[in-house]
């Protein structure tokens, strides 16, 4: 049993990641792939990032029940009851409620770090320092903390957080009171946000004490809190699976950002810069990956001629020869080949929908 106030890690690993199709598929989503070409899956990299901060017995992974065996394969060191299986996807609020109620059972003062399973971090030492600062603040104060990333460009694919800049609104350790959350803005707004200097990218990483987040659920998402309150004594018992099945059928589909973070008055942001990307798209992989002399990111056995600024991710057992492409995605996985302009990658979801309707379920 961990000591009171110990750190816990909650990894959200239930998404399908359809923008990474054909690499990320319903039966094998991107968090279980070696997206970065480093020999480790995104899930494995995510958990390893917290070594020295959170012991393996305090790691919880929330995933779709169809992926429980995949989680066990990638994280053999965690016990089966640390894998929380969702019967259906209900966005991040029910997912976080489930994990937080489980952890609060063990330690109401436990400090929870919530992270998606598919983020990339280039400066891991800086990352761990920021996480430790946030854990220390959450352990001693009733606050809900999110990490805000210093924006390097006016990206319209991220949400933004505006913070109060006056010292009266700050806590120790560099934590700033949040003023507003803005979902993915248009290009003009994104430029204004970056130029103003008081906006950060919303990383989707959260830190809080178990009792603090449960109070917030009771206040701002009382319908979800009511569902979990009814079954909290069943959590950690053989009856948990049946309870979660009916609990999720009663929970609405809502994000923690919209349900809690945008409404609560004890939300703080810790500005950070540790080489972060959410790796949500092929273009983000191009930004984060290792570039050759022509700006290509290649993972696979490829010979390139007159080819620049491309992402090429293909099976190692297949030789791929590419000539004359500039700014393209060439991706092959499991009997599907995608060739698409990087500037048109937002259409990948349309391609997936078309494939499903015209070719059946086998390719999505």
Q: What is the pLDDT of residues 33-85, one digit of tens each?
A: 988 888 899 999 999 999 999 999 999 999 999 999 999 999 999 999 999 99
Phi, psi of 267, deg, nearest 5: -100, 130
Residues 151 and 90 in one domain: yes
Full domain range(s) for residue 354: 282-359
Domain tally, the chain: 2
pLDDT tier, 170 (very low <50, low <70, confident <90, very high otherwise): low
Q: Could you tell me what percent of the chain has a pLDDT over 90? A: 67
Question: What gap in Å lies between CA 360 and CA 32, rounded to an integer?
Answer: 23
Q: Residue 220 CB: number of other CB atoms within 10 A?
A: 18
Is-contact 213 144, C-beta < 8 A? Answer: yes
pLDDT beyond 90 at 182: no
Residue 1 belongs to some domain of the structure: no
Q: What average pLDDT does this structure show over 257-278? A: 91
Query: Do 97 and 142 share a domain, yes or no?
Result: yes
pLDDT band for 269, please (50, 70, 90 cuts). Answer: very high
pLDDT at residue 169 greater than cutoff 80? no
Average pLDDT over the chain reads: 91
Confidence band for 168, pLDDT divided at 50, 70 and 90? low
**In the predicted structure, residue 1 carries a pLDDT above the cut 60:** no
Using CA atoms of 19, 51, 12, 238 in order, give the dihedral in degrees to the nearest 10.
140
pLDDT average, residue stretch 95-103? 97
290 and 264 belong to one structural domain: no
Q: Is residue 132 part of a domain?
A: yes
pLDDT (0 to 100) of residue 320 = 97
Q: With bands split at pLDDT 50, 70 and 90, how would you rate the model's confidence at 26? A: confident
What is the average pLDDT across 180-195?
78
Average pLDDT estimate for 233-237: 94
Q: Among the three residues 277, 310, 341, which one is the final residue of a domain in this structure?
A: 277
Answer yes or no: is pLDDT of 352 > 80. yes
Same structural domain, 267 and 318: no
Indicate if 147 and 232 belong to the same structural domain: yes
Residue 156 lies in a domain: yes
Question: What is the predicted pLDDT for the residue at 193?
Answer: 80
Residue 2 has pLDDT above 60, yes or no: no
pLDDT at 275: 87
Vertex 134: Cα angle to 128 and 136 (nearest 5) = 105
Q: What are 301-335's pLDDT values in tens digits?
A: 999 999 999 999 999 999 999 999 999 999 999 88
Predicted confidence at residue 29, as pLDDT, reads: 92
**Domain of 229: which CATH number?**
3.90.550.10
Instruction: Look at residue 339 in the predicted model and tell me its pLDDT.
Output: 97
Say what the pLDDT of residue 364 is: 82
pLDDT score of 128 more than 80: yes
Comparing 14-28, 136-150, 254-268, which segment has the lowest mean pLDDT? Answer: 14-28
Cα–Cα distance measured from residue 84 to residue 7, given in angstroms and rounded to the nearest whole number = 18
The answer on 335 and 316 residing in a single domain is yes
Kindly report the pTM of this predicted structure.
Answer: 0.93
End-to-end CA distance of the chain: 42
DSSP state letters, 171-203? -GGG-EEEEEEE-S--HHHHHHHHHHS-EEEEE
**How is residue 78 written in tokens?**
């965690």
At residue 346, the pLDDT reads 84
Looking at residue 266, its pLDDT comes to: 93
pLDDT band of residue 3 (cuts 50, 70, 90) is: low
Q: Give yes or no: residues 194 and 304 share one domain.
A: no
Mean pLDDT of all residues in 174-183: 86
Domain boundary among 253, 277, 301: 277
Give the angle subtended at the CA of 270 by the CAs of 265 and 276, to the nearest 5°: 130
């Amino acid at each position: 049993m961990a000591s009171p106030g110990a750190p816990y890690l909650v990894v959200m690993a239930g998404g399908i990641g359809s923008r990474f199709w054909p690499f990320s598929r319903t039966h094998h989503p991107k968090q279980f792939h070696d997206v970065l070409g480093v020999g480790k899956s995104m899930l494995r990299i995510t958990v390893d990032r917290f070594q020295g901060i959170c012991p393996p017995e305090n790691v919880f992974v929330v995933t779709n029940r169809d992926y429980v065996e995949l989680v066990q394969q990638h994280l053999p060191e965690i016990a089966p009851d640390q894998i929380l299986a969702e019967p259906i996807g209900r966005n991040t609020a029910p997912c976080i409620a489930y994990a937080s109620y489980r952890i609060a059972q063990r330690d109401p003062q436990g400090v929870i770090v919530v992270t998606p399973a598919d983020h990339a971090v280039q400066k891991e030492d800086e990352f761990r320092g920021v996480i430790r600062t946030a854990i220390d603040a959450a352990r001693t104060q009733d606050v809900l903390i999110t990490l805000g990333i210093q924006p390097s460009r006016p990206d319209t694919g991220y949400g933004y957080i505006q913070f109060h800049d006056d010292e009266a609104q700050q806590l120790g350790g560099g934590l700033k009171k949040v003023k507003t959350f803005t979902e993915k803005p248009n290009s003009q707004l994104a430029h204004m946000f970056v130029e103003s200097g008081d906006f950060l990218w919303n990383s989707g990483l959260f830190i809080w004490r178990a009792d603090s987040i449960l109070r917030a659920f009771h206040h701002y998402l009382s319908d979800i809190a009511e569902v979990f309150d009814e079954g909290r004594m069943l959590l950690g018992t053989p009856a948990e699976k049946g309870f979660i099945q009916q609990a999720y059928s009663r929970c609405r589909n809502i994000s923690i950002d919209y349900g809690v973070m945008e409404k609560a008055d004890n939300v703080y942001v810790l500005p950070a810069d540790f080489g972060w990307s959410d790796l949500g798209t092929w273009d983000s992989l191009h930004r984060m990956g290792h570039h050759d002399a022509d700006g290509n990111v290649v993972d696979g056995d490829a010979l390139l001629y007159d080819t620049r600024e491309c992402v090429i991710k293909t099976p190692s057992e297949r030789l791929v020869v590419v000539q004359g492409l500039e700014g393209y995605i060439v991706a092959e996985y499991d009997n599907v080949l995608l060739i698409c302009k990087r500037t048109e990658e937002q259409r990948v979801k349309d391609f997936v929908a078309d494939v499903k309707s015209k070719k059946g379920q086998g390719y999505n």
